[in-house]
């Protein structure tokens, strides 16, 4: 396969397997998505989806969130882990949204990444899934699969994101990054990986590293 053929094979295979891809984190607007993504760091989407309804019942907007104390937020979100950092981040970013952005989540990377506890990946998820602006958030699944497929050198997520954006058409990014996550969970997990079930790896393999 040529480089172009490999990329096309991945796109076509993922489209057949996942013609529709729901956003894994439950939310109703950009703010609740931002909070859910922040909470998902080193946690599972399933775990976050169990806790966000409890948090959002008390505060589903920045104005209500700052009425809670950091300690109150921490008690609610404790089951998802890293609660000291996450609770401070949730309170801090809510305060900044009120003070600098009229209570609205900004639609650009610079302002999003300036918020407490919001890194590039979190900002990318919000940009793509809340606002429909092309982005390619790289999580552990995408980082692992891009390396397994020989599409990146695996050095770091920054390089993986650059390679993904270079190889895949921009108009597909928002859907494709979710398709890769679903594929990674189902066919190409980090543990108990059955290569025989990994359709894409069997077709293009690690040995075909694209430089």
Overall average pLDDT of the 164-185 stretch? 97
Does position 210 have pLDDT exceeding 50, yes or no?
Answer: no
Instruction: Tell me, yes or no, whether 145 and 123 share the same domain.
Output: no
Domain C-terminal end among 130, 152, 180:
130
Based on the residue annotation, tell me whether 139 is a catalytic residue of this protein.
yes
pLDDT band at 205 (very low <50, low <70, confident <90, very high): confident
Does position 206 have pLDDT exceeding 80, yes or no?
Answer: no
Cα radius of gyration rounded to whole Å, the chain: 18
| Number of domains within the chain | 2
Does position 8 have pLDDT exceeding 80, yes or no?
Answer: yes
8 A C-beta contact, residue 104 and residue 126: no
The Cα 25–Cα 33 span in angstroms is 7
* Mean pLDDT of the chain, nearest integer: 94
- Residues 15-38 have pLDDT tens digits of 999 999 999 999 999 999 999 999
Instruction: Give, in order, the Cα–Cα distances in Å from 45 to each of 17, 129, 144.
Output: 21, 15, 18
The Cα 199–Cα 181 span in angstroms is 15
Instruction: Tell me, yes or no, whether 44 and 111 share the same domain.
Output: yes
The length of the chain is 211
At 2 the pLDDT is: 82
**Residue numbers of the domain that contains 105:** 30-130
pLDDT band at 195 (very low <50, low <70, confident <90, very high): very high
At 211 the pLDDT is: 43
At 100 the pLDDT is: 98
Instruction: Tell me, yes or no, whether 55 and 79 share the same domain.
Output: yes
What CATH number has the domain bearing residue 155? 1.10.1670.10
Domain C-terminal end among 130, 149, 165:
130
Instruction: Tell me, yes or no, whether 45 and 119 share the same domain.
Output: yes
Instruction: Tell me, yes or no, whether 143 and 164 share the same domain.
Output: yes
At 192 the pLDDT is: 93
Overall average pLDDT of the 36-55 stretch? 96
Instruction: Tell me, yes or no, whether 120 and 184 share the same domain.
Output: no
Instruction: Tell me, yes or no, whether 38 and 53 share the same domain.
Output: yes
Catalytic residue among 26, 45, 111, 139: 139
Catalytic residue among 60, 86, 121, 198: 121
Query: DSSP states of 107-172 as a string?
Result: SSHHHHHTSTT--HHHHHHIIIIIT--------HHHHHHHHHTTSS--S-HHHHHHHHHHHS-GGG
- Residues 104-154 have pLDDT tens digits of 999 999 999 999 999 999 999 999 999 999 999 999 999 999 999 999 988
At 136 the pLDDT is: 98
The Cα 136–Cα 176 span in angstroms is 8
At 207 the pLDDT is: 58
Domain C-terminal end among 111, 130, 149:
130
Q: How far is CA 184 from the centre of its chain?
A: 13
**The two structure tokens encoding residue 17:** 């397997």
Overall average pLDDT of the 51-58 stretch? 98
The Cα 165–Cα 159 span in angstroms is 10
What CATH number has the domain bearing residue 112? 1.10.340.30
Instruction: Tell me, yes or no, whether 100 and 49 share the same domain.
Output: yes
């Amino acid at each position: 396969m040529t480089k172009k053929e490999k990329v096309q094979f991945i796109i076509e295979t993922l489209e057949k397997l996942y013609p529709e891809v729901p956003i894994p984190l439950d939310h109703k607007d950009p703010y609740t998505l931002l909070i859910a993504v922040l909470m998902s760091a080193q946690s599972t989407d399933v775990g976050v989806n169990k806790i966000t309804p409890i948090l959002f019942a008390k505060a589903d907007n920045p104005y209500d969130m700052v009425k809670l104390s950091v300690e109150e937020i921490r008690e609610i979100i404790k089951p998802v882990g890293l609660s000291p950092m996450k609770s401070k981040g949730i309170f801090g970013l809510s305060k900044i949204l009120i003070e600098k952005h009229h209570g609205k989540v900004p639609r650009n990377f610079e302002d999003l990444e300036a918020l407490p506890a919001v890194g590039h990946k979190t900002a990318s998820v919000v940009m793509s899934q809340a606002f429909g602006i092309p982005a390619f958030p790289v999580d552990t699944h995408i980082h692992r699969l891009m390396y397994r497929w020989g599409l990146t050198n695996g050095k770091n997520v920054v390089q993986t994101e650059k390679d993904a954006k270079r190889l895949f058409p921009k108009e597909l990014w928002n859907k494709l990054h979710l398709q890769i996550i679903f594929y990674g969970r189902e066919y190409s997990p980090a543990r108990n990986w059955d290569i025989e079930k990994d359709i894409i790896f069997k077709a293009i393999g690690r040995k075909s590293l694209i430089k």
